[in-house]
Structure 1
Amino acid sequence: MRADAQRSYDRILAVAGDVFVEQGTNASMNEIAKRAGVGAGTLYRHFPDREHLLDVLLKDWVAQIQAAVDQTLAAGLPPRELLITWFEAVVRHISVHRGGAARLTAALGNTASMVDKWQGLATANQSVLRHLEARGAIRGGADTIQICRLVGGVAAVADAGGLLRDDTRDLLALIADGLLVAPAAALRCP
């Protein structure tokens, strides 16, 4: 791709992400082209239809989520810190755009949603949970989608209420603590 074509492609993707978050996935392709500063022909040359544009955006998002999983698991953190670090990464990735966390969280498990089509967040979350299960650190029966919804709920509240990182981290720690197997010493009665 020529350098100017690549710039147009990148600008269209950036703008489309914003427009889809603001207006939903039925947003006008003409609006995307207008905001990106390109003609409709340029937009359709790169992305023949809305579905193709959404697929490219979601593939990129899923790749970023998977990279975050790989980075979190490679850090070699203790189970509690690993879960909190992962949950913070999820919050960052679903909160890129104002209102995005609520929309993405609401779409989880909705088979008609493009987010559900790619299942990137749930699959990534499942990787972390399986890693912790293999270490005997997490309670059995943890439902991946429900955990994603809990973390997404924290992200949505943080987004709407302007919570500080420390406040968000405290809420994510509560979720992590509920998932982790309690050390035997903590279960003994005094």
Structure 2
Amino acid sequence: MRADAQRNRDRIVEVAREVFREQGYEASLDLIAKRAEVGAGTLYRHFPTRDDLIDAIMQVWVDRVTESTDKVLAYEGSDRDLLLRWFETYVELISLHKGGPAKITTAMGNPESPIRSKCQVLSGAAGRVMDALGERGALRPGVDAVQVCRLVGGVASVADSSGLDDDAVRPLLEVVADGMLARS
């Protein structure tokens, strides 16, 4: 890709991230092109569909999910503390945009969702954590990564819509964690 074309692409992604943060994922693509100071044709040449643009924005986020999950899995504390660290990380990851937790949580496990790739990244990361804890015998039988994402996402949705701070969310996550852990 030519340098000027790459600059245009990068600028479109940067502006789209800002616009989507302000207005949600259904924001006008024409507005994004205008703010990026490119023509609509340039935007569509780089991103033929809205989903293509969302996927480009999400790549940086995907890398962050992977890095955050690796960091949680490297934790050497108790199983409960590891699980709570993952929950707090998950809540942070899906709460980057107002309304994000509800949008992601309702789409979780839906193969028809326009954000299915984001949900798959999240459930895959949760699966890695659940697998690690399962190998250690720390989880109750039948704990499923998508179900965990939905449950913790529900807590994040309540926090997002109610304006709860981390101190109010932590006890809710502790209840979820305690319900998932195998009894000794």
User: Where on the TM-score scale, by shorter chain, does this alignment land: which range?
Assistant: 0.7 to 0.9
Shift of 1:160: 0.9
Letter in 2 for 1:121: L
Corresponding residue number in structure 2 for 1:66 = 66
Corresponding residue number in structure 2 for 1:180 = 181
Give the TM-score normalised by structure 2: 0.86
Give me the whole-angstrom Cα distance separating, in 2, the residues matched to 1:175 and 1:2. 50
- Inter-CA distance 173–10: structure 2 relative to 1 (3 Å threshold): farther
For 1:154-169, list aligned pairs within 5 A: 154-169=155-170
Corresponding residue number in structure 2 for 1:54 = 54
Give me the whole-angstrom Cα distance separating, in 2, the residues matched to 1:129 and 1:145. 10
Matched positions, count: 182
Give me the whole-angstrom Cα distance separating, in 2, the residues matched to 1:143 and 1:5. 43
- Inter-CA distance 108–151: structure 2 relative to 1 (3 Å threshold): same
Q: Residue 130 in 1 paired to residue 131 in 2?
A: yes
Give me the whole-angstrom Cα distance separating, in 1, the residues matched to 2:24 and 2:69. 29
Corresponding residue number in structure 2 for 1:150 = 151
Give the TM-score normalised by structure 1: 0.83
Give me the whole-angstrom Cα distance separating, in 2, the residues matched to 1:14 and 1:84. 32
Corresponding residue number in structure 2 for 1:44 = 44
Secondary structure of 2:168's counterpart equals helix
Contact 1:111 1:117 in 2 (8 A): no
Deviations 1:37-82 (A, max 9, x none): 4432442343343232122223332222111110100122211111
Give me the whole-angstrom Cα distance separating, in 1, the residues matched to 2:138 and 2:31. 48
For 1:75-114, list aligned pairs within 5 A: 75-114=75-114
Give me the whole-angstrom Cα distance separating, in 2, the residues matched to 1:131 and 1:67. 16
Cα root mean square deviation, aligned: 2.3
Runs of 5+ consecutive residues of structure 2 not aligned to the other structure: none
Secondary structure of 2:62's counterpart equals helix
Q: Between 163-172 and 53-62, report the one with greater CA deviation.
A: 53-62
Runs of 5+ consecutive residues of structure 1 not aligned to the other structure: 184-190
Contact 1:54 1:114 in 2 (8 A): no
Corresponding residue number in structure 2 for 1:187 = none
